[in-house]
A and B are shown apart, each in its own frame.
Chain A
Amino acid sequence: MTKIDAKIPSGALKDKWTNHKNNINLVNPANKRLIDVIVVGTGLAGGSAAATLAELGYSVKAFCFQDSPRRAHSIAAQGGINAAKNYQGDGDSIYRLFYDTVKGGDYRSREANVYRLAEVSANIIDQCVAQGVPFAREYGGLLDNRSFGGVLVSRTFYAKGQTGQQLLLGAYSAMNRQIGRGKIKMYNRHEMLDVVIVDGKARGIIARDLVTGKVERHSAHAVVIGSGGYGNVFFLSTNAMGSNTSAAWKVHKKGAYFANPCFTQIHPTCIPVAGDLQAKLTLMSESLRNDGRIWVPKNLEDVKAIKSGQLKPTKITEENRDYYLERRYPAFGNLVPRDVASRAAKERCDAGYGVNQTGQAVYLDFEAAIERYGKETAHVQGLDENDKTLVTKLGKEVIANKYGNLFQMYEKIVDENPYETPMMIFPAVHYTMGGIWVDYNLMTTIPGLYAIGEANFSDHGANRLGASALMQGLADGYFVLPYTIGDYLADDIRTGPISTDQQAFADAEKDVVSNLDHFINNKGTKSVDYFHRKLGHIMWEKCGMARDKAGLVSAISEIKALRDEFWKDVLIPGGRNEFNEELAKAGRVADFLELGELFAKDALDREESCGGHFREESQSEEGEAKRDDENYKYVSMWEYTGNPADAILHKEDLVYENIELKTRSYK
Chain B
Amino acid sequence: MNLTLKIWRQKSASDKGKMVNYQISDVSGDMSFLEMLDVLNQDLISKNDEPVAFDHDCREGICGMCSLYINGEPHGPDRGVTTCQLHMRKFKDGDTIYIEPFRAKAFPIIKDLVVDRSAFDRIQQSGAYVSVNTSGNTQDANSIPVPKEDADMAFDAATCIGCGACVAACKNSSAMLFVAAKVSQFALLPQGKVEAKKRVQDMVNQMDAEGFGNCSNTGACEAECPKGISLENIARMNRELLKADTAVRN
Report A's interface with B, CB cutoff 8 A: 48, 51-52, 55, 66-73, 75-76, 85, 87, 120, 123, 125-132, 134-143, 159-160, 162, 164-166, 169, 172-174, 176-177, 179-180, 186, 188, 211, 238, 240-242, 274-275, 277-280, 282-283, 408-409, 412-413, 415, 478-479, 482, 523, 527, 529, 571, 573-574, 578-579, 581-582
Cα A137 to Cα B155 in complex, Å, equals 11
Which residue of chain A has the shortest Cβ distance to B30 in the bound complex?
A274
Q: Is the CB of A408 within 8 A of B155?
A: no
A75 to B111, CA, bound (A): 25
Contact of A240 among B57, B127, B147, B189 (CB under 8 A): B57
Binary interface profile of B, 16-34, with partner A (CB < 8 Å = 1, else 0)?
0000000000001011101
Listed stretches B81-89, B91-99, B235-243; interface member: B81-89
> In the complex, which residues of chain B have a beta carbon less than 8 angstroms from the beta carbon of A138?
148
Assuming the contacts A125-B141, A127-B134, asked whether A173 and B128 have C-beta atoms less than 8 A apart, the reply is yes
> Could you tell me the distance in whole angstroms from the C-beta of B155 to the nearest C-beta in chain A?
4
B-chain residues with CB within 8 Å of residue A282 when the two chains form the complex: 59-60
Bound: A249/B159 CA distance, A: 34
**Cβ–Cβ < 8 Å partners of A70 in chain B:** 64, 121, 162
A-B pairs, top 4 by smallest CB distance, nearest first, are: A141-B145, A173-B129, A134-B155, A129-B141
C-alpha spacing A69/B191, complex, angstroms: 23
- Check B134 against A479 for contact (C-beta < 8 Å): yes
Select from chain A the residue with minimum beta-carbon distance to B43.
A527
Is A143 a contact of B141 with CB atoms below 8 Å?
yes
Residue of B nearest to A478 (CB): B134
* Contact A482 B134, CB 8 Å, known A67-B65, A126-B141, A409-B60: yes
Residues of B within 8 A of A55 (CB): 133-134
Any A CB within 8 A of the CB of B14: no
Contact partner of B189 (CB less than 8 A), chosen from A132, A278, A479, A581, is: A132
Q: Judge whether A582 and B134 touch: CB under 8 Å.
A: no
- Known contacts A71-B63, A143-B141; is A176 also within 8 Å of B124 by CB? yes
Which residue from chain B places its CB closest to the CB of A239 in the assembled complex?
Answer: B58
Does the CB pair B31–A275 fall under 8 Å? yes
B246 at the interface (CB under 8 A from A): no
- The residue in A131, A160, A282, A578 that gathers the most chain B C-beta atoms within 10 A of its C-beta is A131
Interface centre among A75, A277, A408, A478 (most CB of B within 10 A): A277
Question: In whole angstroms, how far apart are the Cα atoms of A355 and B64 in the complex?
Answer: 33
Query: With contacts A51-B134, A573-B50 known, what are 14 further pairs, Cβ within 8 A?
Result: A67-B65, A68-B118, A68-B121, A70-B121, A76-B58, A131-B191, A160-B155, A164-B62, A176-B121, A176-B124, A240-B63, A277-B28, A415-B87, A527-B45
Question: Is the beta-carbon distance between B31 and A277 smaller than 8 angstroms?
Answer: yes
Q: Are A571 and B136 in contact (CB under 8 A)?
A: no
Answer whether residue B142 sits at the interface, using C-beta atoms and an 8 A cutoff.
yes
Decide if B159 touches A165 in the complex (CB within 8 Å). yes
Question: Can you report 24 A-B residue pairs in the complex whose CB atoms are below 8 A from each other?
Answer: A66-B57, A66-B65, A67-B118, A68-B120, A70-B64, A71-B58, A73-B63, A76-B62, A130-B130, A132-B129, A132-B130, A143-B141, A159-B158, A162-B62, A162-B159, A165-B159, A173-B130, A174-B129, A176-B121, A277-B31, A479-B136, A527-B45, A573-B48, A573-B50
